[in-house]
Amino acid sequence: MNETQRQSLLGAIAISSGAAGFGNITPQQRADAFANLEQFKTYPGRMAACVEMIGCSTLQIAGVGNVPSDVTVPGKLYALGLIQEFLKVGYNSLNESDRGQLRSSIVLAARQLAMPVDSSSIKMNDSTRILAVKIAALLADLALREFPQRWQTFVSDLFSPVSNGGMWCEAGADTGGNAAGIKICLECLKLVTEDCTDSDYNARISTTRRNDILLGLNEMSTRLLPLLFELLSKQYGDVNNAKSTLQAMHQYVASNGRTMAQMTPDERAQYQQELDRRDAAGGIVADVLGTLEKFCQSMPLDWMLKVENGNDFVAALLHLLQEDVANIQVLSVACLQQLSMRKLDQYQWFRLVSSLPPALFEATNAAAQRANERAIAPNSIDMLIEQLEFHRSLSKMGSTLVTAHLAHITTDKDISSGRGVKFDAVSSYLNLLSEMMSHPSGVICGEQINTWVGLLRDPAIVRTNVLSPHLGRVLTAYMNHIVKIRWEDVWEQEHPYSALIEASWDDDEAYDDWLGNLRSKASQLFRSIGNTEPEIAVTVIHSQMRTLLNAHCNGEPRDQLNPENNELTVTSTACLKFEGATQPLDNILHGLPSWAVDDGNYDAKRSRIRSIIRPLLSELASMIVSWNPNDIWLKFRRTTLLEALKHYWKYEPSTLPSGVDTLLMYLSATDNPPKERISEDVIGLRKKSGVSLVAVSKVVPHLLVPWLSQLSDRAKTLLTSGGLSPINEMHLYEFLSCVATAVENPVDRSNFVADVLANSMRSLESPTIQSSIQSTEGLLSLMGISQAGTNSSCVTDPEFVKKVTREFSTLYSSLNQLLSVGKRCHEAARKRPNGGLPVQSLSPVIDGSVALNFPDEGPINLSDLAINDPFVALWPKLLPTLLQVFDVTLRVWHPEFQVSLLRNNVQRYALAISDDEAYLATKQESSVGGVFGKGGTAGSIISGTDRRDMNLAPRWSGWFNELRNNCFQLLGLLSAQRILYAPEMSHLFPQLVSIVTNQEHLRSMEHRHFTQYLKQFIEIMILSCPSSLYQSHLTAILGPVFEHLQVRFQYSWNPILGTGGLSAESTKPLFFSQLC
Mapped onto helix, strand or coil, the DSSP state of residue 568 is strand
Query: Please, are residues 1033 and 992 in contact by the beta-carbon 8 Å criterion?
Result: no
Closest by Cα among 732, 599, 714, 719 to 657: 714
Whether omega before 673 lies within 30 degrees of 0, making that bond cis, reads yes
pLDDT for residue 24 = 75
**Cβ-contact 150, 212 below 8 angstroms:** no
Question: What is this structure's pTM?
Answer: 0.80
Q: Please list the alpha-helical segments (H only) found in 374-438.
A: 381-386, 388-403, 406-410, 413-417, 421-436
**What residue type is assigned to position 916 of the chain?**
D
The single-letter DSSP state of residue 676 is S
The predicted structure's pLDDT at residue 834? 64
Q: Which helix (H) or strand (E) holds 69?
A: strand 68-70
181 contacts 241 by C-beta, under 8 angstroms: no
Closest CA to 441 of 477, 489, 491: 477
pLDDT at 726: 82
Alpha-carbon gap, residue 68 to 22, rounded angstroms: 10
Q: What are phi and psi of 942, to 5 degrees?
A: -115, 110
What letter would DSSP give residue 784?
T
CA distance 282 to 325: 6
Residues in CB range of 1011: below 8 A, 6 or more apart: none
pLDDT given at position 607:
93
* Sign of the torsion angle spanned by Cα atoms 351, 353, 354, 357: positive
The helix-helix angle for 46-55 and 96-114 (nearest 10°) equals 30
d(CA 527, CA 521): 11
Q: Kindly state the DSSP code that residue 1015 receives in the 8-state scheme.
A: I
DSSP state of 1031: I
CA angle 599, 604, 605 (to 5 degrees): 95
Phi, psi of 595 (to 5 degrees): -65, -20
| Residue pair 122/280 in contact by the 8 Å Cβ criterion | yes
- Number of Cβ within 10 Å of residue 509's Cβ equals 11
Contacts of 803 (CB under 8 A, 6+ apart): none
Name the packing angle between helices 632-644 and 656-666 (round to 10°). 140
SS3 723: coil
CA angle (41 as vertex; 39, 42 as ends), nearest 5 = 75
96: CB partners within 8 A, 6+ apart: 150
Which residues touch 1022 (CB under 8 Å, ≥6 apart)? 1034, 1038
DSSP string, 731-746: HHHHHHHHHHTT-SSH
Q: Whose CA is closest to 311, among 229, 234, 233? A: 229
CA distance to 475, 484, 726, 963, per residue, from 756 (Å): 44, 41, 15, 22
63: helix, strand or coil: coil
Report d(CA 300, CA 342) in Å as an integer: 10
Q: From CA 1038, how far away is CA 887, in angstroms rounded?
A: 18
Q: Can you name the residues that pair with 562 across neighbouring β-strands?
A: 567
3-state SS assignment for residue 561: strand
Q: Which mean pLDDT values do the consecutive 10-residue runs of the chain (1076 residues) have?
A: 82 80 77 88 86 85 73 88 87 87 89 71 76 91 90 90 85 69 92 78 75 90 92 93 92 89 91 91 94 93 91 95 94 96 94 95 93 88 94 96 93 86 93 94 95 93 91 96 94 94 94 95 96 96 96 94 91 95 96 92 92 96 95 96 96 94 92 84 94 93 88 83 83 87 84 85 92 93 91 89 91 91 87 64 44 57 86 92 95 92 88 68 54 50 64 86 93 93 91 94 91 94 89 90 90 73 50 42
50 three-class SS: helix
